[in-house]
Amino acid sequence: MRNTSRSRWGGVLIGVGLMAAVDEIIFHQLLGWHHFYDGATPALGLLSDGLLHAGEIIALVSGFFVLLELRHQRALHVTYAWAGGFLGAGGFQLFDGTINHKLLRLHQIRYDVPLLPYDIFWNLSAVVLILIGLWLLGRARKPTLTI
Amino acid sequence: MHAAETPTLITSVFWLLLSVVTLLYYLAARHHRSPRFLQRLPLFAAGSTLMMLAFSPPMMAWAHHDIRGHMVQHVLLGMFAPLAWVLASPMTLALRSLPARYARWSSNLLRHPFFFYLTHPITATLLNIGGMYLLYATPLYQASLNNLALHLMIHVHFILAGYLYCWSIAGCEPSFHPFSFKMRLTVLLFGIAAHSYLAKLMYINLWPSLPFYSADDLQTAAKIMYYGGDLAEALLAIVLFNGWLENNRKRLVRFSKRYHIEDAFRI
């Protein structure tokens, strides 16, 4: 008996953690668009940033262990896990693009350039990821292949 | 500052102590004839080697005049070396290797409520990460530079507090005062947050603010603390979840044996 709900949640946790890692590696380290600290973050934002950062690490690790356990129990539903992964990644991206960047003003995507196109592209990519996740979820719900 | 021979003396004393401890682990594991501990000898030796590296003369010299060196030394001593040691379960080995009389005496001592409070994840986090706030956000760091005894005490504190923290969160050794997975996970979450918050504060305020450290070096040191700490705490989270997985698997084995449904699971 495959556990679809746990498969999906395991995927969501990995999706969130991976997206956060991608953000850290590509935008902070490789492109250097984001800064470690941009000199404008309010104190509360900095504190919540610390908690969010801790949550991302725990999410990535716990997601892998949830899926690992399901595999041991032969209860992993792969498509649900992928759907969850895309939903988690897109959801995090959208959260980052709206709450973190705009509401808490933790940091911006890039500095010294007009921000609007970047913001639009950022949140659009989040919506695309979520749509892929929803499409996969729809496919997973159809009782076709069994492996 | 101190005479030129003092750092060499410190290095020799710590290297000697670490070699003795590692040798004791090996002898106890061999005497015990348990493959479990012999298999974990490399982990224990890795922990000792990391600590020897942290106390090696070039590292001591680097840490002495450069905050970046201090931070690398701190990450090794306080996070990576203790984690490797914890994974080798040295406390279990020690208790099993002691003569029965002393082992009974030790376990009676460890049952005391004092050790419940000491090994509580919250206490361990306060001692470890609270200690970091005390060191870098107060003039304590500056005071330690001119006082060898204080300097050594701080090093020993971070080794012990780092060990206690990893031991308490990992929970991979049997304990008289076990704490729930949820408690340990929650405390780890706040521990990571507090650690990365402090690193950001140090980056922004240029702590520890001393005239002979350049802003660039201080910010690099804060980043070493942030990312080094991340890696160590992610490893700690993996150890924590591995224990959770093992526990669940054991429960599943008991359950499936009781109802004769072993075939349903690949266990």
Q: pLDDT tens digits for B206-250?
A: 999 888 899 999 999 999 999 999 999 999 999 999 999 999 999
Segment among A28-37, A66-75, B77-86, B158-167 with least mean pLDDT: A28-37
Q: Note the pLDDT of residue A72.
A: 86
Quick one: which of B185, B194, B125 has its CA closest to B161? B125
| A72 touches B at CB < 8 Å | yes
- What's the pLDDT tens digit per position in A46-68? 888 888 899 999 999 999 999 99
* Residue B87: count of CB within 10 angstroms of its CB: 19
Q: Note the pLDDT of residue A101.
A: 79
Residue with more model confidence, A28 or B222: B222
**CA B85, CA B189: separation in Å to the nearest integer?**
22
Q: Note the pLDDT of residue B1.
A: 44
Write A16-19 long-range contacts (CB < 8 A, 24+): A16/A56, A16/A59, A16/A60, A16/A63, A16/A88, A16/A89, A16/A91, A16/A92, A17/A56, A17/A57, A17/A59, A17/A60, A17/A61, A17/A63, A18/A60, A18/A85, A18/A89, A19/A88, A19/A89, A19/A92, A19/A93, A19/A96
Q: List Cβ neighbours of B146 (8 Å cut-off, separation of 6 or more).
A: B1
The partner residue sitting opposite A68, judged by closest CB among B185, B191, B245, is B245
Angle, vertex CA B22, rays to CA B17 and CA B24, nearest 5: 95
Confidence of residue B259 (pLDDT cuts 50, 70, 90): confident
| B244 touches A at CB < 8 Å | yes
At A64, the amino acid letter reads F
Nearest CA in chain B to A66: B245
| B16 touches A at CB < 8 Å | no
Q: Note the pLDDT of residue B159.
A: 97
Confidence of residue B109 (pLDDT cuts 50, 70, 90): very high
Q: Note the pLDDT of residue B4.
A: 54
- Answer whether B204 sits within 8 Å of A65, measured CB to CB: no
pLDDT at residue B5 greater than cutoff 80: no
**For testing contact with chain A, the best of B133, B188, B197 (most A CBs within 10 A):** B197
Q: Note the pLDDT of residue B198.
A: 95
**CA B62, CA B156: separation in Å to the nearest integer?**
19
Residue with more model confidence, B193 or A1: B193
**What does pLDDT average to over chain B?**
92
Q: From chain B, pick out residues whose CB is under 8 angstroms from the CB of A46.
A: 197, 200-201
CA distance A77 to chain B (A): 15
| B237 touches A at CB < 8 Å | yes
ipTM of the complex: 0.90
**CA B75, CA A19: separation in Å to the nearest integer?**
26
Q: Which two tokens stand for residue B235?
A: 């490893």
